[in-house]
Amino acid sequence: VGVGLIGGSVGLALREAGLAKTVVGIGRRASSLRKARACGAVTTTTTRLDRGVADAELIVVCSPVDRIVEHVVAAAGHCPEGALITDAGSIKGRILEGLDQRLPDGFPRGVDFVGAHPMAGSEKTGPEFARADLFAGRVCLVTPGESAPRRAVRGVTDFWESLGARVIRMSPAEHDSVVATVSHLPHIAAAALADLASRPQLEAVGPGWLDTTRIAAGDVELWQQILSGNRVAVLKALDEFEKLLASYRAALATDNARELTDLLRAGRDKRRAGERLGRGNA
């Protein structure tokens, strides 16, 4: 459900690995569905979610975060018994809350949902940028709610691992705190850094600026939804960031070279550890 960069890459990866004979692409826009078909990401397409999931064993909801609850509920209402549903949304707590509100008695018998968040986006959007190896070696956070059956958690874990991802399991709340720090706050910082440069200054940007601000080129509406959807955790991360910047300010204002060195060293060491731990075997 949703045949953009993520949904398209799921389809390509499944087909390239021979894991699915039929991949149904479900989307609102005929043009995106056409592109997804053209690049081989899906075998059939439909704009009708109810029909698209009618024979599904596994449903991957790759919609924008504001539509995920609605699409999971619709899929749960029309899929066969035994179907497993996962998603690829960047926030988790609010989606589970939304599902609890919409399905107060839980999912229909024999249908389960376990959320996931593959850490493998791009500032590019659309199925034309989909790649079969988008998830290879990348972390995928799998975030079961408290009531998710063990079998469903295992199934969703197996699914993302079959696409090459390294799965890490954590609670939805833990997820939201992690991504606030390693994804959402960096997006704000990148966008703010980019915004500060005047037009003449932009002539002078080098590879450092281009790397640091790259994610700011991402889809604005998508990111507004993500940041708003995770605002409590993002505000907490922003607090910590501002405190740390105040330490840099103090070190610069007092010309304290030793303190500045300590701060830079701490950042460098974490960056190196992140390179080692986060890049994984990719």
Residues 178-197 that bind its own copies (CB under 8 A): 178-179, 181-183, 185-197
Q: Does 9 bind its own copies (CB under 8 A)?
A: no
Interface with its own copies, residue 124, by CB under 8 A: no
CB of 203 to its own copies, least distance (A): 5
Question: How far is it, in rounded angstroms, from Cα 5 to Cα 123?
Answer: 10
Q: What gap in Å lies between CA 118 and CA 179, rounded to an integer? A: 11
Residue of 119, 130, 152, 163 interacting with its own copies (CB under 8 A)? 119
Q: Which residues contact 260 (CB under 8 A, 6 or more apart)?
A: 248, 251, 252
Q: Which of 99, 46, 45 is nearest to 77 (CA)?
A: 99
> How far is it between the farthest Cα atoms of the chain?
67
Comparing C-alpha atoms, which of 111, 110, 129 is closest to residue 121? 129
Interhelix angle for 231-253 vs 172-179, to 10°?
Answer: 30
129 lines the binding site for its own copies (CB under 8 A): no
Nearer to its own copies, 86 or 230 (CB): 230
Near its own copies by CB under 8 A: residue from 19, 60, 249, 281: 249
In the complex with its own copies, the residue whose CB is nearer, 76 or 194, is 194
Beta bridge partners of 44: 24
Q: Which of residues 141-180 bind its own copies (CB under 8 A)?
A: 141, 168, 178-179
| Shorter beta-carbon distance to its own copies: residue 78 or 175 | 175
Please, are residues 62 and 88 in contact by the beta-carbon 8 Å criterion?
Answer: yes
Instruction: Calculate the CA 125 to chain-centre distance.
Output: 13
> Among 46, 122, 125, 162, which residue sits at the site for its own copies (rule: CB under 8 A)?
122
Q: Is 136 in the site for its own copies (CB under 8 A)?
A: no
Q: Does 199 bind its own copies (CB under 8 A)?
A: yes
Amino acid 61 reads V
CA-CA distance, 38 to 22, in Å (whole number)?
Answer: 15
3-state secondary structure of 135: coil
Please identify which residue in 38, 153, 207, 281 interacts with its own copies, judged by CB under 8 A.
207
The least CB distance from residue 207 to its own copies, in Å, is 7
> Would you say 22 or 201 has its CB closer to its own copies?
201
Q: Is 6 in the site for its own copies (CB under 8 A)?
A: no
Q: Is 224 in the site for its own copies (CB under 8 A)?
A: yes
d(CA 243, CA 18): 50
Q: Which is nearer to its own copies, 15 or 94 (CB)?
A: 94
Residues 39-78 that bind its own copies (CB under 8 A): none
Judged by CB under 8 A, which of 22, 41, 138, 143 binds its own copies? 138
Which region, judged by CB under 8 A, interacts with its own copies, from 13-21, 108-116, 156-164, 247-255?
A: 247-255
Phi, psi of 23 (to 5 degrees): -125, 110
